[in-house]
Amino acid sequence: MTKDIATPKRTQEILKKYGFSFKKSLGQNFLIDPNVLHNIVSHADLTEESAAIEIGPGIGALTEHLARKAGHVVAFEIDQRLLPVLEDTLSPYYNVEIIHSDILKVNVSEMMKEKLADYKDVMVVANLPYYVTTPILTKLLMEKLPIRGMIVMMQKEVADRITAKPSTKAYGSLSIAIQYYMKAEIAMMVPKTVFIPQPNVDSAVIKLTRYETAPVSVLDEDFLFFVCRSSFAQRRKTIINNLQSQLPHGKEKKELILAALAEASIDPTRRGETLTIQEFGNLANLLLPNFKETPEL
């Protein structure tokens, strides 16, 4: 088997060979522990019948572990300086394709039709740059890709928010937005010591598994998320106060909001953080007829 990219010695050799310097603006932190990478990939349950989509392959440390398990790997790299590095480090693997592009500007659905049409089982597996974790996850979820799920590493604090349950400090509109589409759980913790350069915080790997059917049936998904964000606008405020201040003409329509809360069996003095995704879904459905003129979401 080819020598692992992700050892401290080999990583340093590669960086030196190409005179590579880390760009803080791109959130580049490379993993230098093969065991951690092996564990991350094991959570994806990949076979030769599977394809993997990676975001930010860096020098190919995670990519090679994916290539050893999956039938095909497509990796998006934004940093042009890394393209010759990846061509070199991943040369033993014929099932890897690197696309030089910003994932936030890519039509991933179209890419899958074009490059992964032969694969029924597709997973996103990535060490996400901290500064764009939420936009990337949101984009992939909103595109409703035909994937089984995601195994993604991120800042522990963000992982806590994504997997949070109601009535906890970390629970918020991000928790609901992600858990509406996928079951979310923390798969493993990753200490900052296994990266170069070392980040300031520890990381966590979360496992997201797509629901066959959403945990709640809603009439308008955009409106559901708008109601959730509105309910968390000021965490210390009650749900009635937040909705009044955030919904279009909320103050004039206070009685309509109170009526919807009553019909959903939600006490108006509760805070948004105490509501389950099911309660938010029911509430959004009841509010929708009177608040259709939602501002730009």
pLDDT of residue 208: 98
* pTM, rounded to two decimals: 0.92
Binding residues: 29, 31, 56, 77, 102, 127
Mean pLDDT of 229-241: 95
Look at residue 215 and tell me if it is in a domain: no
Domain co-membership, 204 together with 225:
no
Please give the single-letter amino acid code of residue 258. L
Look at residue 1 and tell me if it is in a domain: no
Q: At residue 190, does pLDDT exceed 80?
A: yes
pLDDT of residue 1: 56
Domain co-membership, 200 together with 283:
no
Whole-angstrom Cα distance, residue 186 to residue 188? 6
Q: Which domain holds residue 80?
A: 8-210
Local confidence band at 82 (pLDDT 50, 70, 90 cut-offs): very high
Q: Which residue has the tokens 């069996």?
A: 265
Mean pLDDT of 185-204: 93
Domain co-membership, 51 together with 127:
yes
Domain co-membership, 57 together with 193:
yes
Binding residues for S-adenosyl-L-methionine: 29, 31, 56, 77, 102, 127
Judge contact between 138 and 121, C-beta under 8 A: no
Q: At residue 297, does pLDDT exceed 50?
A: no
